Structure 1
Amino acid sequence: MSKQKNHGYKKPKNNPPRSEKPHGKKVPSQSKGKQKSGTGLQRGGKPVTAEVTCTGLSDEGKGIAEWKGKQLEIPHLLPGETAEVNVFQRGQYVNAEVKHVITPAGERVDPPCPYYYECGGCQLQHMSNEAQSRFKQETIDTLMKPFGKPDSILTMDHPYDYRNKSHTTFGMNHKRQVIGGLYAQNTHDIISMDRCLIHDPKSDEIAETIKDYMRNSKMQPYHEDTGQGFLRHVLIKVGKISGGIMVVLVAASSEFKGKNKFVKELRRVHPEITTMLLNVNKRDTSVILGDQEQVLFGKGTITDTLCGLTFEISAKSFYQINPVQTEKLYGRAIEMAELTGEETVIDAYCGIGTIGLVASQKAGKVIGVEVNKDAIRDAIRNSKRNGVTNARFHQGDAGEFMVDMASRGEKADVVIMDPPRSGSDEAFLSSVVKLKPKRVVYVSCNPETQARDLKYLVEHGYEVEGLQPVDMFPQTYHVESVAKLVLKDVT
């Protein structure tokens, strides 16, 4: 059985993978020789043990197998493998988890992360890197089959340590000791962990220092059920090129006792931190950041470089998580736009202006449109910071903006669209059709909704001329896709 390298990770001493409910019962740790699914399975009663053979993978990388005439989707199972599984039934719902792999596939590897089978944040660490790439390529090939053959997926040389943003949640274990880590998938059970292999290592080091500080001081973690305590989360953003580091303490109260001492101590241990903020979130919500914010040290923002441009990043700014792969993604998108320096480009869903400002280097004029007011403010600031004079940013609905352009007889040569995971709605797509740009470059973080939207555009006068998958999130089932569409010659 082949194995991946451990990438320098050292398993923590006396700290086995463990998920715990804050102030509550300890969830049993992973049993020897068994895998915990980490997927929030709906268990009902005593499980039934069965032997199954995996015949394929779902879009989420789960193994597909048949049991008593029903199709099971089983995490951590690979095609061709025979395994003993636990099957859970609750009414009409059936779930399963691997108990023991009887005949492992050649592509199976030992996950380098000791928390893998509990966490659920990564879904593919049990697959070799080559198998992961092939799985994602086949996913895109299948979804995009009606539109043509996609190019080969753009992969990452070092598929770890890539996330420039991380957040750690804090709580108490059953021994009333401070713990910090990530929620197990689909739960609010904290997995006590000191390292996530896809985080920037420096962010995890800082989170560990904060955890140690809490254990040696009176700073208490927030408890969701009682509403008592202070610190809820720590959000850390790292400028991969600039080296700037932002630490955001997300607290339940603006009253921060010992604030100066905390800032001084954290800076002493980590002088590389360039700014610290206190964000107050008093709401009973799964949303991490609240509306109230206070700068504790530094400017309150960091900067980073992407595609040769400098971007200012605030606590609430959306900035691509994996800048190494983002440069590949944006580079391919700009190629597909076929810019010569004369075109008018619409950057729909423009956010803080990243892809629009990159496009401005080769376009005649860029118009960015975004409904989020704060994002537009950041986009304008980033435009000025980089001395860009041929880009303008507007706050509003991009679809309505393009309909207004069409009604005034104005033209756009290219529309670049990067919608959320839900994709675009028919109102937006119809506005693209009304404006009739020569080319549409569709950047997607959800190829399934992208395929749906491409079907609409193809039915309304466009044809797909290029498809490029990009592995933006190695070790997970997520894959991004860029599509190039051109307007058919209606004459």
Structure 2
Amino acid sequence: MPSWPTGSRHASRLHKATILTTIDFSITGLASNGRGVAEHDGESWFVDDALPGEIVRATIAVKRRRVRRAKTLITLKASPDRVVPRCEYFGVCGGCVMQHLSISGQLRHKQANVVAALERYSVEFAADGITGISPSAWGYRRKGRLGVRYVPKKGGILVGFREREKNYVTDIKQCHTLVPELSSLLPSLKGRLQDISGRESIPQVEVASGMNNAAIVVRHLTPLSERDLQRLTSFGREQNVRVYLQSGGPDTIVPLEKRGEPLTYRIRASGDTIEFLTTDFIQVNDAANQEIVDLVLHMLALTQSDRVLELFCGLGNLTLPVASNVDRVVGLDYDEQLVRRGKDNALFNHKDNVEFIRADLTEAPVGEWWASERFTKLLLDPPRSGALEILNTIVPTLAPERIVYVSCNPETLARDAATLTARFGYRLEAVQVVDMFTHTGHVETIALFV
């Protein structure tokens, strides 16, 4: 920046611009994207790198009718929950947004989000009935989708998560949230992708880790040469990684060579072994998932005479542990591949009191088969959109004794809780927040209705 003479017209203009674009903010909240929330002159602002309770001096980054964002220049008063981010890429990489907030601070923030959502929907609950745990904060992600981009000006292949709110790829050498076996794979993966001729046609790689092995799915937009296939094959053998190719949608995923064991993880509570593919939906944090399974079993208060209906069952992560404690369990899901995987997992674990059925749970009614069968307990683990339609259809007929709701979105959980309590007469008995995705704004909640 040029140094203008004191008193010059340029210096006056520069000083005036600085005054107009710099604001002192008192931060009162935290958004899910990790930005501080503040009010100034009757307007709401989002402030980068600012935490609740802090006073920061920030410069205006964006000021439009509906979007007002500022960037912190200096922290005038720091929060006691502020910590030094562990990752060198924090602030650029979009994989994490809260590494500057202590683990306990993140959990309190997520609990507060759940409470606020329930209050917005006027759902009655006991304040001391909402608790939280953060089982694993670092090296927990056993799955990840990495962006890939060939940029000659930056040295060739870039591999990493997308930048914050941008489509650029953050070139990372390691990731502190990936499990160590996946993080340590990044440099060699980047080197191998750099070495193949079809590197420009690869937009992403999905990585996953099981109990004893790892796998990657290489997405490619054009056919790879025979040499490229050989290079990827040798990479898989050298790193003891199963390599899959994906030329289109999920149904185009094929193994590069048929070798090694499938990806699996084990459920602590029941001893069940769950087999999954790299692109299957599973809970990415194993320690948090084990806690969720334990909580679900405890909240359902299962007996050998119970018959349980599970909605959005996936590949059996909760279904099979429940089956170990009841007379019968039926799992419904709209994903045909996950239903097929659930059936295979039940067979592998010798669970003959389980039935997996494909059903469209986004529309009502879902069929009449369930109306003739008596279920004592209801379990559901819906996507972010929640389960309002299916609850309105099934709950009046089944009238289950207990409902356990596993949610990844406080807003739709609160909306559905309002229906269960106000319309159907259930009581929200307990709420447990589990920090599944530490350092992100995502929150997992388990709620019990009786």
Aligned letter for 2:252? Q
TM-score (normalizing by structure 1): 0.80
How far residue 213 of structure 1 moved from its aligned partner, in angstroms, is: 2.2
Cα pair distance change 1:260/1:402, threshold 3 Å: closer
1:82-102: per-residue Cα shift (whole Å, max 9, x none)? Answer: 111122212443222222212
Counterpart Cα distance in 2 of 1:177 and 1:316: 27
1:100 counterpart = 2:74: yes
381-390 or 58-67: which moved more? 58-67
188-197 or 386-395: which moved more? 188-197
| Unpaired segments ≥5 residues, structure 1 | 1-45, 222-228, 282-288, 487-491
- Structure with a larger share of its residues in helix: 2
Provide the secondary structure at the position in 1 that maps to 2:337: helix
Cα pair distance change 1:147/1:453, threshold 3 Å: same
How far residue 279 of structure 1 moved from its aligned partner, in angstroms, is: 1.0
1:304 counterpart = 2:290: no
Aligned letter for 1:480? E
Match 1:67 to one of 33, 40, 43: 40
Provide the secondary structure at the position in 1 that maps to 2:368: helix
Counterpart Cα distance in 2 of 1:336 and 1:402: 26
| Unpaired segments ≥5 residues, structure 2 | 1-18
| Residue correspondence of structure 1 range 210-225 to structure 2 within 5 A | 210-215=189-194, 217-221=195-199
Provide the secondary structure at the position in 2 that maps to 1:354: coil
Match 1:419 to one of 372, 382, 385: 382
1:287-327: per-residue Cα shift (whole Å, max 9, x none)? Answer: xx543122113268322212321111113321111111111
Match 1:468 to one of 432, 438, 446: 432
Decide whether the 8 Å contact of 1:244 with 1:304 is kept in 2: no
Runs (4+) off by over 6 Å? none
Match 1:276 to one of 221, 238, 243: 243
Provide the secondary structure at the position in 2 that maps to 1:380: helix
Counterpart Cα distance in 2 of 1:188 and 1:220: 21
Counterpart Cα distance in 2 of 1:371 and 1:266: 36
TM-score (normalizing by structure 2): 0.87
Cα pair distance change 1:214/1:470, threshold 3 Å: closer
How far residue 185 of structure 1 moved from its aligned partner, in angstroms, is: 2.7
How far residue 454 of structure 1 moved from its aligned partner, in angstroms, is: 0.5
Counterpart Cα distance in 1 of 2:388 and 2:376: 21
| Residue correspondence of structure 1 range 8-407 to structure 2 within 5 A | 48-58=21-31, 60-87=33-60, 88-144=62-118, 146-149=124-127, 150-156=129-135, 158-173=136-151, 174-175=153-154, 177-215=156-194, 217-221=195-199, 229-239=200-210, 242-259=211-228, 261-267=230-236, 269-271=238-240, 273=241, 275-281=242-248, 290-297=250-257, 298=259, 301-307=262-268, 308-398=271-361, 404-405=368-369, 407=371
Q: Percent same amino acid at aligned positions?
A: 26
Provide the secondary structure at the position in 2 that maps to 1:99: strand
Decide whether the 8 Å contact of 2:149 with 2:169 is kept in 1: yes
363-372 or 254-263: which moved more? 254-263
How far residue 58 of structure 1 moved from its aligned partner, in angstroms, is: 3.8
Counterpart Cα distance in 2 of 1:402 and 1:484: 24
How many residues are aligned here? 420
How far residue 52 of structure 1 moved from its aligned partner, in angstroms, is: 1.3
RMSD of Structure 2 on Structure 1 (CA):
2.2
Provide the secondary structure at the position in 1 that maps to 2:51: coil
How far residue 354 of structure 1 moved from its aligned partner, in angstroms, is: 1.3
1:272-297: per-residue Cα shift (whole Å, max 9, x none)? Answer: x2x2211113xxxxxxx543122113
Q: Match of 1:456?
A: 419
Counterpart Cα distance in 1 of 2:79 and 2:399: 50
Provide the secondary structure at the position in 2 that maps to 1:456: helix
Q: Match of 1:40?
A: none
